[in-house]
Amino acid sequence: MKDETEERLVKQATIVTSVVLAMGATAALVWAAAPAFLLLFGGLLLAAILAALARPLQWLGLSYRWAVGIVSLVFFGALAAGLFYGGMTLVSEFNELWRQLRDQLRAIAEMLAEMGVGPSGEDAGQGTDPVGISALFPDASGIFSSASQAMFSVLGGLGNIFVIVFIALFTLAQPRLYRHGVVSLFPASKRDRIDHTIYEATHELILWVCGTGISMVTVFAVTWVGLIFVEMPNAFLLALQAGLLAFIPTLGPFIAGIPIVLVGLSDSMTQALWGLGVYVLVQGVESNVSQPIAQRYTSALPPVLTLGSQVVFGVLLGTLGIALAVPMVAVLMVFVRELYVKDTLGGAYDGECRGWSKG
């Protein structure tokens, strides 16, 4: 009897150890291949963007293949034409904007030094990275300071861009093939449920793209018109960066407001206040107009979950992790809700806890 008990304990210990080692190995593999997973998700996100743009054409009666093909050609054609005809102008304007931002931050550092805050004396204005500017903005001077540096920078990221584009195009070309391949990895009794969950996750991602796109276009348009109205220098670039940063909820709008105020300060304090007023107006329009419209079609993540996921993904995966944190969490929430909360736990809790205020 004692031998059987010891044998059972040994088997249990072996199983537990094996599970722990397998989980550790999986975590190590995910950690090592995190950049590859981000590229894969980036490709799927681009596919969701193109699929969302193709939906109006499908509503007009075009087939899926024709709608996706037309949207892909127009999307990449417009992007290539914009870079070809306006790329050098944007680079020149971006260099000027970057110079203004660096000069303004250096002036702020000198003013703080005179007040006894930060480095004192000549060190305040001579540092190559005043007040941690490299932590706030990318080092554009290293990208655009010369043609050769720009070429090396482009080539460095060109491979990743091609990977993302091809993943998106291959996924759009045969979405059923890849979905069926994933579903086939599960037991036959679970395949219908897994297939439905993948469909729900895909639908959620497309809806998130649509809602975010509405916010990005709204922020860009209102910011551009507002900055032109107050005669802000580099209005188009400032509006463009604000629209692009609207892709990143919570953190993006805050980061986008910094260059607007700094460029205004390079002209005058009055201009900076006008820029701040435009920024506040844009946030009001986004919060009260575009976001309610977007949330009619997609579920919004709780603010704590949004900010928490951005912090965690940013620490673990860097800038790209911050940019992709919210759509990744939105997709993961679908799988958790459908496969764990509903199927394993029996559904979400909808009662009231004692001692908690209603909200």
Q: What is the band of 154 on the pLDDT scale with cuts at 50, 70, 90?
A: very low
Residue whose pair of structure tokens reads 């107006």 in the numeric block: 281
* Percentage above 90 pLDDT, the chain: 2
Alpha-carbon distance of 69 to 62, in angstroms, equals: 11
Q: What is the band of 152 on the pLDDT scale with cuts at 50, 70, 90?
A: very low
pLDDT in tens, 299-321: 667 778 888 888 888 888 788 88
Residue 41 clears pLDDT 70, i.e. is over it: yes
pLDDT in tens, 195-217: 999 988 888 888 888 888 888 88
Determine the average pLDDT of the residues in 241-245. 87
| Planar angle of CA 115, 118, 122, nearest 5 degrees | 85
Alpha-carbon distance of 38 to 211, in angstroms, equals: 22
Contacts of 71 (CB under 8 A, 6+ apart): 50, 53, 54, 57
Alpha-carbon distance of 117 to 110, in angstroms, equals: 9
Given this model, what pLDDT does residue 141 score?
45
What's the whole-model pTM score?
A: 0.70
Residue whose pair of structure tokens reads 């900010």 in the numeric block: 307
Alpha-carbon distance of 353 to 355, in angstroms, equals: 6
Determine the average pLDDT of the residues in 7-18. 75
Given this model, what pLDDT does residue 151 score?
43
Given this model, what pLDDT does residue 274 score?
87
Q: What is the band of 2 on the pLDDT scale with cuts at 50, 70, 90?
A: low
Given this model, what pLDDT does residue 134 score?
46
Given this model, what pLDDT does residue 299 score?
60
Given this model, what pLDDT does residue 136 score?
44
165 or 2, higher pLDDT = 165
Q: What is the band of 15 on the pLDDT scale with cuts at 50, 70, 90?
A: confident
pLDDT in tens, 92-150: 666 666 676 677 677 777 776 776 665 554 454 444 444 444 444 444 444 344 444 44
State the average pLDDT for the chain. 76
Determine the average pLDDT of the residues in 322-329. 86
Contacts of 102 (CB under 8 A, 6+ apart): 130, 133, 141
326 in Cβ contact with 301 (< 8 Å)? yes
Alpha-carbon distance of 127 to 259, in angstroms, equals: 20
HSE, CB side, 13 Å, CA atoms: give it for residue 287.
8
356 or 154, higher pLDDT = 356
Alpha-carbon distance of 349 to 359, in angstroms, equals: 15
Please report the DSSP string for 160-207 in residue order.
HHHHHHHHHHHHHH-HHHHHHHHHTTS-GGGHHHHHHHHHHHHHHHHH
Alpha-carbon distance of 264 to 235, in angstroms, equals: 11
Domain edges within the chain: 33-173, 189-346
